[in-house]
Structure 1
Amino acid sequence: MLQEGAYPDPYLELLRVGVEHQDVAEGVVVTLAVDGVLVTGTLIPTVVWEDLYFRQVAEADYYGMRKVVREVLGHLDQAVEDGRRRRVSDPRFLHLKDVTVRSGRTARRLPVWRGPVAAVSGWSLGEPDER
Protein backbone atom coordinates (compact mmCIF):
# COMPACT_ATOMS: atom_id res chain seq x y z
CA MET A 1 0.00 0.00 0.00
CA LEU A 2 1.03 3.57 -0.59
CA GLN A 3 1.27 6.03 2.24
CA GLU A 4 -2.07 7.42 3.32
CA GLY A 5 -3.02 10.32 1.10
CA ALA A 6 -0.36 9.44 -1.50
CA TYR A 7 -1.54 8.79 -5.02
CA PRO A 8 0.88 7.31 -7.53
CA ASP A 9 1.31 8.87 -10.93
CA PRO A 10 -1.01 6.68 -13.03
CA TYR A 11 1.42 6.59 -15.96
CA LEU A 12 4.40 5.60 -13.81
CA GLU A 13 2.18 3.07 -12.05
CA LEU A 14 1.28 1.61 -15.44
CA LEU A 15 4.99 0.98 -16.09
CA ARG A 16 5.56 -0.46 -12.60
CA VAL A 17 2.67 -2.88 -12.95
CA GLY A 18 3.70 -3.71 -16.52
CA VAL A 19 7.19 -4.86 -15.54
CA GLU A 20 5.78 -7.01 -12.76
CA HIS A 21 4.21 -9.02 -15.58
CA GLN A 22 7.35 -9.74 -17.58
CA ASP A 23 5.43 -10.73 -20.67
CA VAL A 24 3.93 -7.23 -20.84
CA ALA A 25 6.95 -4.93 -20.51
CA GLU A 26 10.66 -5.56 -20.71
CA GLY A 27 13.67 -3.28 -20.96
CA VAL A 28 11.87 -0.06 -20.00
CA VAL A 29 14.49 2.58 -19.14
CA VAL A 30 13.37 5.49 -16.97
CA THR A 31 14.92 8.53 -15.36
CA LEU A 32 13.47 9.47 -11.99
CA ALA A 33 13.89 12.70 -10.03
CA VAL A 34 14.33 11.61 -6.41
CA ASP A 35 15.38 14.02 -3.65
CA GLY A 36 17.24 16.31 -6.05
CA VAL A 37 19.15 13.62 -7.94
CA LEU A 38 18.44 11.80 -11.20
CA VAL A 39 18.20 8.01 -11.01
CA THR A 40 18.30 6.24 -14.39
CA GLY A 41 17.91 2.52 -14.94
CA THR A 42 15.92 -0.34 -16.37
CA LEU A 43 12.69 -1.15 -14.53
CA ILE A 44 12.62 -4.73 -13.25
CA PRO A 45 10.08 -6.87 -11.41
CA THR A 46 10.31 -7.21 -7.63
CA VAL A 47 11.32 -10.89 -7.86
CA VAL A 48 14.23 -10.07 -10.18
CA TRP A 49 15.40 -7.29 -7.85
CA GLU A 50 15.03 -9.60 -4.85
CA ASP A 51 17.16 -12.30 -6.49
CA LEU A 52 19.84 -9.76 -7.50
CA TYR A 53 19.81 -8.25 -4.01
CA PHE A 54 20.21 -11.58 -2.22
CA ARG A 55 22.97 -12.61 -4.63
CA GLN A 56 24.77 -9.30 -4.08
CA VAL A 57 24.61 -9.61 -0.29
CA ALA A 58 25.75 -13.23 -0.36
CA GLU A 59 28.64 -12.61 -2.77
CA ALA A 60 29.97 -9.66 -0.80
CA ASP A 61 29.29 -11.45 2.49
CA TYR A 62 28.21 -8.21 4.15
CA TYR A 63 28.68 -8.56 7.89
CA GLY A 64 28.87 -12.35 7.63
CA MET A 65 25.41 -12.51 6.01
CA ARG A 66 26.25 -15.18 3.39
CA LYS A 67 24.99 -18.06 5.56
CA VAL A 68 21.86 -16.19 6.63
CA VAL A 69 21.00 -15.26 3.04
CA ARG A 70 21.41 -18.87 1.89
CA GLU A 71 19.11 -20.06 4.66
CA VAL A 72 16.50 -17.38 3.91
CA LEU A 73 16.59 -18.17 0.19
CA GLY A 74 16.22 -21.86 0.95
CA HIS A 75 13.15 -21.20 3.11
CA LEU A 76 11.63 -18.84 0.53
CA ASP A 77 12.18 -21.30 -2.31
CA GLN A 78 10.72 -24.15 -0.25
CA ALA A 79 7.69 -22.04 0.71
CA VAL A 80 7.08 -21.18 -2.96
CA GLU A 81 7.35 -24.85 -3.91
CA ASP A 82 4.94 -25.80 -1.11
CA GLY A 83 2.49 -23.12 -2.22
CA ARG A 84 2.69 -21.32 1.13
CA ARG A 85 4.21 -18.13 -0.21
CA ARG A 86 3.78 -16.32 -3.42
CA ARG A 87 6.43 -13.81 -4.32
CA VAL A 88 4.40 -10.63 -4.73
CA SER A 89 5.35 -7.11 -5.62
CA ASP A 90 5.12 -4.24 -3.16
CA PRO A 91 3.43 -1.29 -4.90
CA ARG A 92 5.28 1.18 -2.67
CA PHE A 93 8.60 0.54 -4.45
CA LEU A 94 10.23 0.80 -7.85
CA HIS A 95 13.11 -1.52 -8.74
CA LEU A 96 15.84 -0.75 -11.27
CA LYS A 97 18.96 -2.46 -12.58
CA ASP A 98 21.99 -1.03 -14.39
CA VAL A 99 21.51 2.25 -12.54
CA THR A 100 23.20 5.62 -12.86
CA VAL A 101 22.67 8.17 -10.08
CA ARG A 102 23.46 11.75 -11.14
CA SER A 103 23.91 14.61 -8.73
CA GLY A 104 25.21 17.78 -10.33
CA ARG A 105 28.17 16.75 -12.50
CA THR A 106 28.79 13.55 -10.55
CA ALA A 107 27.48 10.21 -11.81
CA ARG A 108 27.75 6.89 -9.99
CA ARG A 109 26.82 3.43 -11.24
CA LEU A 110 24.92 0.87 -9.16
CA PRO A 111 23.95 -2.68 -10.10
CA VAL A 112 20.44 -2.43 -8.57
CA TRP A 113 18.27 0.18 -6.88
CA ARG A 114 15.05 0.13 -4.85
CA GLY A 115 13.23 3.32 -4.03
CA PRO A 116 9.81 4.41 -2.82
CA VAL A 117 7.35 5.53 -5.48
CA ALA A 118 6.28 8.31 -3.12
CA ALA A 119 9.79 9.85 -3.31
CA VAL A 120 9.63 10.31 -7.10
CA SER A 121 8.90 13.95 -7.88
CA GLY A 122 9.17 13.58 -11.65
CA TRP A 123 10.16 11.06 -14.27
CA SER A 124 10.76 10.47 -17.94
CA LEU A 125 11.16 7.53 -20.27
CA GLY A 126 14.74 6.99 -21.38
CA GLU A 127 17.95 8.46 -20.09
CA PRO A 128 19.49 11.91 -20.33
CA ASP A 129 22.17 12.49 -22.93
CA GLU A 130 25.69 12.98 -21.61
CA ARG A 131 26.16 16.61 -22.66
Structure 2
Amino acid sequence: MGAKEAAQQVLKVLLGQDSHHDPYLELLRLGAASEHIDSEVVVTLIVPGGLVTGTIVPAAVWEEKFTRELDDYDLRRAVGTARDRIEENSDKGRRLQPDSRFLHLRDVTYRDGRASHTLPTWRGPVAAVSGWTLGEPERS
Protein backbone atom coordinates (compact mmCIF):
# COMPACT_ATOMS: atom_id res chain seq x y z
CA MET A 1 0.00 0.00 0.00
CA GLY A 2 1.41 3.35 -0.98
CA ALA A 3 1.59 6.39 1.28
CA LYS A 4 -1.28 8.15 -0.51
CA GLU A 5 -3.63 5.15 -0.24
CA ALA A 6 -2.73 4.65 3.43
CA ALA A 7 -3.37 8.33 4.18
CA GLN A 8 -6.77 8.18 2.46
CA GLN A 9 -7.79 5.10 4.46
CA VAL A 10 -6.61 6.66 7.73
CA LEU A 11 -8.64 9.79 6.99
CA LYS A 12 -11.76 7.69 6.36
CA VAL A 13 -11.29 6.01 9.73
CA LEU A 14 -10.62 9.27 11.58
CA LEU A 15 -13.57 11.03 9.97
CA GLY A 16 -15.92 8.16 10.82
CA GLN A 17 -16.54 7.28 7.17
CA ASP A 18 -15.45 3.73 7.74
CA SER A 19 -17.68 1.23 9.56
CA HIS A 20 -14.99 -0.59 11.55
CA HIS A 21 -15.85 -1.47 15.13
CA ASP A 22 -12.74 0.12 16.64
CA PRO A 23 -11.07 2.91 14.66
CA TYR A 24 -7.88 2.75 16.74
CA LEU A 25 -7.40 -0.96 16.10
CA GLU A 26 -8.07 -0.30 12.42
CA LEU A 27 -5.38 2.39 12.42
CA LEU A 28 -2.90 -0.16 13.78
CA ARG A 29 -3.92 -2.64 11.06
CA LEU A 30 -3.53 0.00 8.36
CA GLY A 31 -0.19 1.11 9.79
CA ALA A 32 1.14 -2.45 9.63
CA ALA A 33 0.09 -2.66 5.98
CA SER A 34 2.08 0.43 5.04
CA GLU A 35 5.58 -0.08 3.64
CA HIS A 36 6.61 3.17 5.31
CA ILE A 37 6.47 1.84 8.87
CA ASP A 38 9.77 0.48 10.20
CA SER A 39 8.70 -0.47 13.71
CA GLU A 40 6.77 -3.57 14.74
CA VAL A 41 3.59 -3.33 16.79
CA VAL A 42 2.88 -6.04 19.35
CA VAL A 43 -0.69 -6.23 20.61
CA THR A 44 -2.67 -8.36 23.02
CA LEU A 45 -6.23 -9.06 21.94
CA ILE A 46 -9.09 -10.27 24.07
CA VAL A 47 -11.00 -12.82 22.00
CA PRO A 48 -13.57 -15.45 22.95
CA GLY A 49 -11.75 -18.06 25.02
CA GLY A 50 -8.53 -16.23 25.78
CA LEU A 51 -5.82 -13.72 24.96
CA VAL A 52 -3.90 -13.56 21.68
CA THR A 53 -0.56 -11.72 21.65
CA GLY A 54 1.50 -11.14 18.54
CA THR A 55 3.04 -8.74 16.06
CA ILE A 56 0.62 -7.15 13.60
CA VAL A 57 1.60 -7.89 10.01
CA PRO A 58 0.09 -7.04 6.63
CA ALA A 59 -2.13 -9.70 5.07
CA ALA A 60 0.51 -10.31 2.36
CA VAL A 61 3.15 -11.18 4.99
CA TRP A 62 0.73 -13.49 6.79
CA GLU A 63 -0.21 -15.15 3.48
CA GLU A 64 3.44 -15.80 2.64
CA LYS A 65 4.15 -17.34 6.06
CA PHE A 66 0.93 -19.38 5.84
CA THR A 67 1.85 -20.88 2.48
CA ARG A 68 5.29 -21.81 3.86
CA GLU A 69 3.60 -23.45 6.87
CA LEU A 70 1.64 -25.68 4.50
CA ASP A 71 4.91 -27.34 3.54
CA ASP A 72 5.18 -28.62 7.14
CA TYR A 73 2.04 -30.68 6.63
CA ASP A 74 1.06 -33.29 4.10
CA LEU A 75 -1.46 -30.92 2.54
CA ARG A 76 0.52 -30.11 -0.57
CA ARG A 77 -1.67 -32.27 -2.84
CA ALA A 78 -4.93 -31.19 -1.25
CA VAL A 79 -4.22 -27.48 -1.57
CA GLY A 80 -1.50 -27.59 -4.19
CA THR A 81 -3.44 -25.92 -6.97
CA ALA A 82 -4.65 -23.07 -4.77
CA ARG A 83 -1.18 -22.57 -3.27
CA ASP A 84 0.45 -22.57 -6.70
CA ARG A 85 -2.02 -19.91 -7.89
CA ILE A 86 -1.30 -17.75 -4.85
CA GLU A 87 2.44 -18.02 -5.50
CA GLU A 88 2.00 -17.42 -9.24
CA ASN A 89 -0.09 -14.29 -8.63
CA SER A 90 2.42 -13.11 -6.03
CA ASP A 91 5.28 -13.52 -8.51
CA LYS A 92 3.34 -11.41 -11.00
CA GLY A 93 2.67 -8.73 -8.38
CA ARG A 94 -1.02 -9.61 -8.12
CA ARG A 95 -2.06 -10.49 -4.62
CA LEU A 96 -5.45 -11.13 -3.15
CA GLN A 97 -6.91 -7.88 -1.87
CA PRO A 98 -6.49 -7.57 1.89
CA ASP A 99 -9.73 -8.19 3.74
CA SER A 100 -10.23 -5.51 6.37
CA ARG A 101 -12.46 -7.88 8.36
CA PHE A 102 -9.37 -9.78 9.54
CA LEU A 103 -6.33 -9.01 11.63
CA HIS A 104 -3.08 -10.88 10.96
CA LEU A 105 -0.37 -11.61 13.54
CA ARG A 106 2.94 -13.46 13.60
CA ASP A 107 4.95 -14.85 16.53
CA VAL A 108 1.75 -15.46 18.46
CA THR A 109 1.08 -16.57 22.01
CA TYR A 110 -2.45 -17.74 22.83
CA ARG A 111 -3.39 -17.88 26.50
CA ASP A 112 -6.46 -19.64 27.84
CA GLY A 113 -6.53 -19.73 31.60
CA ARG A 114 -3.14 -20.93 32.83
CA ALA A 115 -2.14 -22.60 29.55
CA SER A 116 -0.04 -20.81 26.97
CA HIS A 117 0.43 -21.90 23.36
CA THR A 118 2.76 -20.47 20.72
CA LEU A 119 1.82 -20.25 17.07
CA PRO A 120 3.76 -18.94 14.06
CA THR A 121 0.78 -17.01 12.66
CA TRP A 122 -2.80 -16.08 13.53
CA ARG A 123 -5.70 -14.71 11.48
CA GLY A 124 -8.84 -13.65 13.24
CA PRO A 125 -11.88 -11.49 12.62
CA VAL A 126 -11.61 -7.95 13.93
CA ALA A 127 -15.26 -8.27 15.04
CA ALA A 128 -14.25 -11.02 17.52
CA VAL A 129 -11.90 -8.67 19.37
CA SER A 130 -13.67 -7.36 22.46
CA GLY A 131 -10.66 -5.48 23.83
CA TRP A 132 -6.98 -4.94 23.17
CA THR A 133 -3.82 -3.25 24.37
CA LEU A 134 -0.41 -2.48 23.00
CA GLY A 135 2.31 -4.81 24.19
CA GLU A 136 2.11 -8.17 25.90
CA PRO A 137 1.40 -9.38 29.43
CA GLU A 138 4.35 -10.01 31.70
CA ARG A 139 5.33 -13.64 32.07
CA SER A 140 4.51 -15.07 35.49
TM-score (norm 1): 0.81
| Structure 1 counterpart of 2:103 | 94
* CA displacement at 1:50 relative to structure 2: 0.7
Gaps of 5+ in 2: 1-18
**Pair 1:130 & 2:131 matched:** no
SS in 1 for 2:70: helix
* CA displacement at 1:16 relative to structure 2: 0.4
Q: How has the CA–CA distance of structure 1 residues 88 and 22 changed in structure 2, closer, same or farther, with 3 Å as cutoff?
A: same
Q: Distance in 1 between matches of 2:90 and 2:139?
A: 43
**Pair 1:113 & 2:113 matched:** no
**Partners of 2:41 and 2:55 within 8 A in 1:** yes
Gaps of 5+ in 1: 1-5
Q: Distance in 1 between matches of 2:111 and 2:88?
A: 40
Deviations 1:27-73 (A, max 9, x none): 10000000141100001110111111111112222xxx214545434
SS in 2 for 1:90: coil
| Structure 2 counterpart of 1:8 | 21
Please show how residues 1-131 of structure 1 align to structure 2 within 5 Å: 7-24=20-37, 26-61=39-74, 65-80=75-90, 85-131=94-140
**Partners of 1:54 and 1:69 within 8 A in 2:** no
Q: Percent identity?
A: 50
Q: Distance in 2 between matches of 1:42 and 1:77?
A: 23
> Looking at both structures, which has the greater relative contact order when contacts are Cα pairs under 8 Å and sequence separation is at least 6?
1
SS in 1 for 2:52: strand
**Partners of 2:60 and 2:95 within 8 A in 1:** no
SS in 2 for 1:40: strand
CA RMSD of aligned residues (A): 2.0
Structure 1 residues 118-127 or 98-107, which shifts more?
98-107
Aligned length, in residue pairs: 122
